[in-house]
Chains A and B, each alone.
Chain A
Amino acid sequence: MFTAFQETEAVQHAAADTLHAMSDTLHAGAAQVAEHGEPFNFSHLLDHIKDSHEVELPFIHLRLPEFPPVHIAGLAIDLSPTKHVFFLVVSAVLLAVLVIISARAYRKSLVPHGLSALTEMLLVFVRDEIALPSLGAAGVRYVPYLLTTFFYILIMNLIGLIPFAATPTANVMVTAGLAIVAFIMIQASAIRAKGFGHYLAHLTGGVHWALWIIMIPIEVLGLFTKPFALCVRLFANMNAGHIVVLSLIGLIFMFRSLAVTPISIPLALFIDLLELLVAVIQAYVFTMLTALFMGLGMEGAHDEEEHAH
């Protein structure tokens, strides 16, 4: 698992390096490019991973409606749907259809076939390998939440690999939304397991009251760093692969030579396959860490029960 982490981090570094190298080459070759005409604009490449109000599909060019921003507590919130909202909805609908079809198959027989066999394999994996080992028997009620998290992130990660589609999880705002839900679930499960009083008492870290002034901010900060890490990890990992692929393809345009294609296309294919792996790994990591944090918050309750006995 951790080697995969390192791998994805390596991919991120590679991405950064490639971008760096690209800009260097660009500056160096500026004079040369000037002879050939208009220089290649790199912002076009990044437009692919940027959010926008347009969805470009084959033969269809959707221009999403824009609304004036809503002002809540001095904040201007733009609720108009974007490309990533579009793919959030597409992923959600796709997932709902696939999973509900698999669930309906169980009405006919308890033995799964085809699609429901695949869904069941992932479901049993999430339940028995991720949720229950971290949460214990009391965590059964959180299994549906973790299942939704895993399947939704997985399908969003995978949908980004389809040409013309965008990866919603490569947008830090989307992962922030998911992390906020995770944050709420982590706190809620801890409060439910321990009671609100014990939950607050846990924030003091169990030290002498004179140290509370130091301990409480640290513990509160700790509550937020966990989901923040979830948010950034998913976003960065999903972005990295895309940037590397775009960089590799960008090399062709930068050098203005077809001779680069035998190198950049197989490499891009390799990164694409790696992304397939990363898509599954990141869905697993996000779900597993959420379950782990929930389990940590709930575990105190077991300890105190054991002490009381």
Chain B
Amino acid sequence: MFDINPGLIIWTILIFVLLASVLGKFAWKPMLKALSDREHAIRDALGQAEKAREEAQQLLRQNAENMARAEEEYQRMVREGKSLAEKMKDEIVAKARQQAQQDLVRAQEEIQRNVDAARQQLRDEVADLAIKAAEKILDESLDAARQKKLVDAVINKIPKN
């Protein structure tokens, strides 16, 4: 246990140095490299995940904005449509009412004209009848022109309606 054996020291150093160089080249280097590679990979993956999350959030925000804008647009369109419809309805009603008014006026005029014509005709006929009756009574004592003048004077004394 306490034997002094320098040969063993030399063996130990020799084997250790040999082992250290072999392991350094074939074990520690690839393993440490794999470890740092993996650490980088994890760090990258985390960074990418963070970026993707931010992008997704931005998309979500954009989406919400778009939705809000679309909603607003829709509301506006509905409002405009409603007001347009209202206006059109008013116009149509007004036009219809005007048309009806015009038709009424025209019909009234037509009626008036017909009444006037009928009245004129009636007057003429009444005059003729009166002349004929007077002729019959007077038996041609007066010429036709004079008679007519007389009758007209009588008729004009009659109130118009």
Q: Residue A273 at the B interface, CB < 8 A?
A: no
Given A81-B11, A144-B28, A173 and B16 contact (CB-CB distance below 8 Å): no
User: Chain B interface mostly helix, strand, loop or mixed?
Assistant: helix
- Please name all residues of chain B whose beta carbon is closer than 8 Å to the beta carbon of A102 when the two chains form the complex: 27, 31
Residue of B nearest to A110 (CB): B38
B27–A173 touching, CB < 8 Å: no
Kindly identify, within residues 98 to 153 of chain A, every residue whose CB is under 8 Å from any CB belonging to chain B: 99-100, 102-104, 106-107, 110-111, 116, 119-120, 123-124, 127, 143-145, 147-148, 151-152
Number of residues from A at the complex interface, CB < 8 A = 53
B34 touches A110 (CB 8 A): yes
Contacting B23 at CB < 8 Å: which of A99, A168, A176? A99
Instruction: Specify which chain A residues have a CB less than 8 angstroms from the CB of B28 in the assembled complex.
Output: 103, 123, 143-144, 147-148
Nearest A residue to B28, CB-CB: A144
Q: Select the residue from B3, B10, B28 with max chain A CB neighbours within 10 A.
A: B28
Asked if A229 is at the interface (CB within 8 A of a chain B CB), the reply is no
A148 contacts B19, C-beta separation under 8 Å: yes
Q: State whether B2 touches A96 (Cβ < 8 A).
A: no
Q: How far is the CA of A207 from the CA of B18 in the complex (A)?
A: 41
Mark out the residues of chain B between 1 and 57 whose CB falls within 8 Å of any chain A CB in the assembled complex.
Answer: 1-13, 15-20, 22-24, 26-32, 34-35, 37-38, 41
Kindly identify, within residues 177 to 194 of chain A, every residue whose CB is under 8 Å from any CB belonging to chain B: 177-178, 180-181
Q: A103-B28, A106-B31 are in contact. List 17 more A-B contacts (CB 8 A).
A: A51-B3, A77-B10, A78-B7, A79-B11, A88-B11, A95-B23, A99-B31, A100-B23, A100-B27, A103-B27, A110-B37, A127-B35, A144-B24, A144-B28, A145-B20, A148-B19, A172-B1
Question: 13 A-B pairs, CB-CB below 8 angstroms?
Answer: A77-B6, A82-B7, A88-B11, A88-B15, A92-B18, A96-B27, A103-B28, A107-B30, A111-B38, A143-B28, A148-B19, A148-B24, A152-B16
Q: What is the interface of chain A, defined by CB distance below 8 A to chain B?
A: 46, 49-51, 69, 75, 77-82, 84-85, 88-89, 92, 95-96, 99-100, 102-104, 106-107, 110-111, 116, 119-120, 123-124, 127, 143-145, 147-148, 151-152, 168, 170-174, 176-178, 180-181, 239
Chain B residues with CB under 8 Å of chain A are 1-13, 15-20, 22-24, 26-32, 34-35, 37-38, 41
